[in-house]
Chains A and B, each alone.
Chain A
């Protein structure tokens, strides 16, 4: 007999999620009003969600790998990031403006939005939850080195840390340092070393040869 209550892997019964949160209800109320008034159509909303979901850190990684292998491209990326990424077929829209900053031996840049959660979504997709947390937003401007240490990155004392607080119309992208020992690697292989977090500046790019095993 298959008695669910005594099954070794018994789980809580599936329940309705219950009443939505205040913000959820507000969102749906505004959305339904906008559709009702003809400001937006349901199709447009869905298309926008699909566009957002199609953008992932892999797009950013492609840009960084190109910058590592093509100094002229890197110069164009630093001068006008929107136009440079457009060369790779990535449209980041007209506003906000994408800006690239480069991490070097001497300077380490890290990005935050203390006021909300501004993030280069058109290139990297949705920000991670921690990026939006009050914890990260309030602490990285007060103790950037301490926060970076929590991400496993311990910077040399003589490195200059630059915390970018994106308070307005700019969205910052960090160009992480190209790891040593990657001279033989192709652009495609290099892109595998570029993580989302390294483009926010809370970590370095992945070292080659370090493999990550998939969860069981």
Chain B
């Protein structure tokens, strides 16, 4: 993680929705969490964007990367038991306030 001159848009505890989309090329937001609501568990820092890095680009500007916690029953609808969680790393441009 390198220092960056920008502030994270979300803070731990914030409710977020993971965006829906399948842009052409490489992206790292799996379909099964798209559209789901979770809570920011931690801010990992700012990292180069894999969507341009994958094609020989510099991955800049860096994107904040968050650990997002989702309730497994909300991810799948029919899942039990209720306390189980999914923790997943999502870049900031794939998140919106919920």
Contact = CB atoms under 8 A, between A and B. Distances in A.
A165 B86 contact: yes
A170 B75 CA distance: 22
Interface residues on A, range: 20 to 34
B55 interface: no
Interface string A47-89: 0000000000000000000000000000000000000000000
B37 interface: no
A167 B84 contact: no
Interface stretch (A6-14, A156-164, A177-185, A191-199): A156-164
A163 B87 contact: yes
Contacts of B91: 168
A166 B89 contact: yes
Interface string B70-84: 001001100101011
B9 interface: no
29 contacts: A97-B44, A97-B45, A115-B28, A141-B86, A142-B79, A144-B84, A158-B83, A160-B83, A161-B84, A161-B85, A163-B84, A163-B87, A164-B87, A165-B86, A165-B88, A165-B89, A167-B28, A167-B29, A167-B30, A167-B88, A167-B90, A168-B65, A168-B89, A168-B90, A168-B91, A169-B47, A169-B65, A169-B89, A170-B67
Interface of B: 1, 28-30, 32-33, 44-45, 47, 50, 65, 67, 72, 75-76, 79, 81, 83-91
A167 B89 CA distance: 6
Given A168-B65, A170-B44, A141 B87 contact: no
A122 interface: no
Contacts of B45: 97
